[in-house]
A and B are shown apart, each in its own frame.
Chain A
Amino acid sequence: MGSYLLKRVALMALTVWGALTIMFVLLVAMPGDAVEAKQGEKAVASGIQANIRRKYGLDDPVPVQYAKYWKNLATGELGYSVKDDKSVNDMLAETAKTSLRLAFWGGIVQLFGSLFLGFLSAAKRNSAIDKVSTVLSVTAQAMPVFVTGLLLQVVFGVIPNNAGGFFNQHFNMVGFWPNEWWLGVFPKENWKVVVLPAVAVGMVQMAYLARLLRSSMLEVMRADYLRTARAKGLSMRRVLIKHALRNALIPWVTAASLAVVETFGIAVQTETTFGLFGVGSQIANSALIQDTNPILGLTSVVVLATAVTLLVVDLLYSVLDPRIRVGSKLAE
């Protein structure tokens, strides 16, 4: 188990290094820089431009910049933004809260929603809940998140607002996020405004994971050991939960861990649609003006956070499946 863990951590480090290096190369290869982009706002003399470049280390040779980048990461000081001379650490602190809240609630929608829908639609195949879950999953696969987000805002914001009175009071779920949160993720007042962004973030993966759980449940339900469980005289509920769901969860966990990676892209769209400003929006904004430090710093944090999540899921996986625990080939 110890050497297995070590191997996983080493592989994770390798992946993170590779991803960050590819990213760095992409950024270096981009023509122009933030100073040029800033010029769009007001003309800056070329001497001053050179000064600015020197100040932010943009005129260093590429290997020096690369070394500096890793030094920054190692020390946790992510440098300064050229655009508004702000510390990237501060930018992270400001935007990470929003992103974490979005990820937390989106994750809850995603995981619990898919468990609930996937299990029930397999257990009660062809029932109303199965059909609802099919429609949901097809819609989620066919609609871009930003369109879903806009649609949700129209149905639960614009329409009740226009209807006014009672409807506006009870069904309008669009608004600014509260300032006060318990434990960072539980809104102290007006929790309603969290619902729509969470649904928008979580729905795509929820639908996908629910379908996946459904089909892996249906597959497990054909397994010989399910027949054994039924022949033992267990109730259907126990057969489905203890024997079928437990095994069907194994592929679900893999898929859910991959879904974590995709969530970032979905979060950016959701943030844009709902006017929230999280890490994703910050990266997109900085990227459009090629402000290297925030892009590198913030994306590195995202890549690292993703890798750690994947590692945790990987370990969880070996708890779920005893065949992997002994360190068999299946672990690869």
Chain B
Amino acid sequence: MTFQMHENVSLAGDDVAEMARLTYWQDVRKRFFRNKIAVIGLVMLAAMVLVAIVGPFLTPGDYKSARNIPDLPRRLFNEAGIFGTDQLGRNLWHRCIRGIGISLRLAVSVALISTVVGMVFGGLAGYIGGWVDSLISRIIEMIYSIPYVLIGIAAIAIFGSSFYTVMFTLIFTGWVGTARLFRASVLQIRSNDYIEAARATGAATPRILLSHVLPNALPPIIVSIAFAISGAILSESIYSFLGIGFIEPTPALGVMIRDARTQFQPYPHLLWVPASILIWLTLSIVFIGDGLRDALDPKMRGVD
């Protein structure tokens, strides 16, 4: 087996990237849009967003209650629509459209809120240090060690199943990841000389945080938002699948997959349709996230 050193081994005094320079953000944008997979992800996601926004206007009517209409054959392309009808006679395509909307709305709110919460706590822990750091780190660890199944069950039992219950459950378990990440990068950045210099000139703490720490810790956070969105979509489906997220008749994708399981042998498409849409959604965001990560990584500059 032969190995090759493909990497941009640094060349001591001569920095090859230095010899041909672009500004950081120009370079990021250029590399993101040249990444075919990332662009495909963007297009895939845009299509889904369009369906979620426009779809409900084009498909009015009841998508929740069971139908007593004469049983249509349960298959793709029956009279009702391209995905046919589900086990309760409802139009599967109409339900999927709503499901996409629920997933996207939920995931984006969860990702943004838990990122902000995580950044606040992680930033405080990393920047202030001392007992604040110890306290926040312990809380993070505690939340981390409770099985999320249990948190989901408790939340649904106490507050009932609703969009906001699922949202808060996901935020409750989701912010700790960002907090960990942000704490680590603040710690690392704080030890840099330019922060010391800013402190020495007497700049106030919030100012240092906003103008020095934040921009430098931003790239990993941007990537983590992307993965938090796909993670939240997956988590919703898992919660619903285990019966601790959304419940019938809410047309969430996880609910549809859960209910289709009992119908799987005769009607596999009832499962594969919502499952494929779910994967389409998460895949598009993972593609974008991967593209962002590669584009934002300063170490990958000037290297293919």
Contact = CB atoms under 8 A, between A and B. Distances in A.
Interface of A: 11, 14-16, 18-19, 22-23, 26-27, 29-32, 123-126, 138-139, 141-147, 150, 154, 218-219, 221-222, 224, 226-227, 230, 236-237, 240, 258, 261, 264-265, 268-269, 272, 280, 283-284, 287-288, 290, 295, 299, 302-303, 306-307
Contacts, number: 141
Nearest to B7: A221
Pairs of residues from A and B, 6 with the lowest C-beta to C-beta distance, nearest first = A18-B142, A26-B154, A142-B282, A236-B3, A142-B283, A287-B153
Interface stretch (B60-68, B143-151, B196-204): B143-151
Interface residues of B, number: 51
A219 B299 contact: yes
B112 interface: no
B224 interface: no
B211 interface: no
Given A123-B3, A142-B279, A236-B4, A222 B9 contact: yes
B139 interface: yes
A55 B209 CA distance: 57
B5 A230 contact: yes
B157 interface: yes
A131 to B, nearest CB: 11
Contact of A19 (B142, B148, B154, B157): B142
A266 to B, nearest CB: 9
Nearest to A240: B3
A104 to B, nearest CB: 19
Given A18-B142, A31-B158, A280 B149 contact: yes
Interface stretch (B19-27, B72-80, B230-238): B230-238
Nearest to A241: B3
A150 B263 CA distance: 13
B138 A11 contact: yes
Nearest to A220: B7
Nearest to A134: B290
Contact of A16 (B8, B145, B147, B290): B145
A240 B3 CA distance: 9
Contacts of A11: 138
By DSSP majority rule, is chain B's interface helix, strand, loop, or mixed?
helix
Which of A125, A139, A143, A268 lies at the interface centre, i.e. has the most chain B CB atoms within 10 A of its CB?
A: A143
B282 A143 contact: yes
Contact of A265 (B7, B138, B147): B147
Contacts of A22: 142-143, 146
B231 to A, nearest CB: 9
Contacts of A302: 147
B242 A284 contact: yes
Contact of A124 (B3, B146, B254, B287): B3
A243 to B, nearest CB: 12
Given A236-B5, A261-B145, 7 more contacts: A18-B139, A19-B141, A27-B154, A125-B6, A143-B282, A146-B241, A284-B153
Contacts of B234: 142, 144
Contacts of A265: 147-149, 238
B286 A142 contact: yes
20 contacts: A15-B145, A19-B141, A19-B146, A23-B146, A23-B150, A30-B158, A125-B4, A125-B6, A141-B227, A144-B234, A144-B238, A219-B299, A221-B5, A237-B1, A240-B3, A261-B144, A272-B242, A280-B147, A284-B242, A299-B146
A295 B230 contact: no
Which of B10, B141, B299 lies at the interface centre, i.e. has the most chain A CB atoms within 10 A of its CB?
A: B141
A139 to B, nearest CB: 8
B7 A218 contact: yes
